[in-house]
Amino acid sequence: MSSRKLLRDMIRNPKATFRERPELILIPLVFFSVVSVWEFLVRHYHIPLYFLPAPSLILEALYRGFAVPFTNIGGYWMHILYTMYECLGGFFFGSIIGILLGTVIARFELVEKTLMPYIVGFQTLPKVAIAPLFIIWFGLGLTSKLVLSAMLTFFPLLVNSIVGFKSTEADKIDLMRSLAANEWQIFYLVKLPNALPFIFAGLEMGAVYSLIGAIVGEFIGGEVGLGVMIMQMNLVMDIAGVFATLIILSVIGICLHIAIQAIEKRVVFWAPKHIETIGV
C-alpha cells in the first residue's frame, strides 16, 4: 500500500485503517511510552546527566545543534552533509564494484573458486582493526572514509549478486536458448530480473553498512562529521549531545532504507512482495 493511498484511507475511514494496520497506532504508542518512562525514571531517581540524560535534554541538544547557522561548524548541518557525502559515495562505489564482481563470479566458476577464499578472508578482518591503516594510506580527509565505507558495502552486494544470478531456473535459460537467444539476451531478460530482488536486499544492508563505515572512519581519524562530533562530545561529557547525534544517525539510516525500498517498488514491481502495490 502506497503512502498516498494509506493517507487517503486514514482520512476517509480511520477506524477501518487502524483495524487493518494496528502498527500505525502501536509504533507511536511504543515510542511515547518508552520516552515517558525514560523521562520519569531519570527525573524520579535523579540519574546523573553524564550517565543517562532525560529525553527532554536530548531534545534540547537537538534544538541547539540545528538552531545555529548552516555554515557554523559547531552545529549539526555541516557534519551531517559531510557524513552523508562519505556514506553515499562509499555506498555507490561499493555497490557498483560488488555487483560487477558478483556478476563475473556467477558467470565464471573458475573465477569464483579462485577469488572467493581471498574475498571471504578479507571480509572476516575486523574493520575497526584495519581502519587505522586506511588513515595512514589515504590520510585524514575524505578518501579514507570513502574507501572504508565502500569496503563495508561491497560484500553484501557481492554475495547477494552471486546468489541472485545463480538462482536462475535452468528451465528458463533452456527456453531462451531454444528461442535462439544469445548470452547477452539471456542475461538481460532472465538472469538480471531474477537477481534484482537479491541485489536490492543487498542494497538495503549495504546502505546501513556504508553509514557505519563512514562513522568508524571518522572515529579513527576524522576532522569533520557526525562521528567526530560524538568523539568531541564524549570528551566534554556532553552525553545528551551524544544521544542527539545518535538519533540523527538513526534517522539517516531509516531514510536510506525507505529510499531504497521506494526504488525497489518501482524497479522490481513484479516481485511477490510488491505485487499488491501495483496500480496503487
At residue 171, the 3 state secondary structure works out as helix
Q: Give me the pLDDT at residue 138, please.
A: 87
Mean per-residue pLDDT of the chain: 86
In terms of Cβ atoms closer than 10 Å to its own Cβ (0-12, 13-18, 19+), residue 161 is buried
Q: Give residue 46's region: left, alpha or beta (phi > 0; psi -120 to 50).
A: left
Look up the pTM and report it.
Answer: 0.85
pLDDT the model gives residue 278: 37
Residues 6+ apart with CB under 8 A from 212: 152
- Per-residue confidence at 20, pLDDT binned at 50, 70, 90? confident
Instruction: Give percent above pLDDT 70 in the chain.
Output: 90
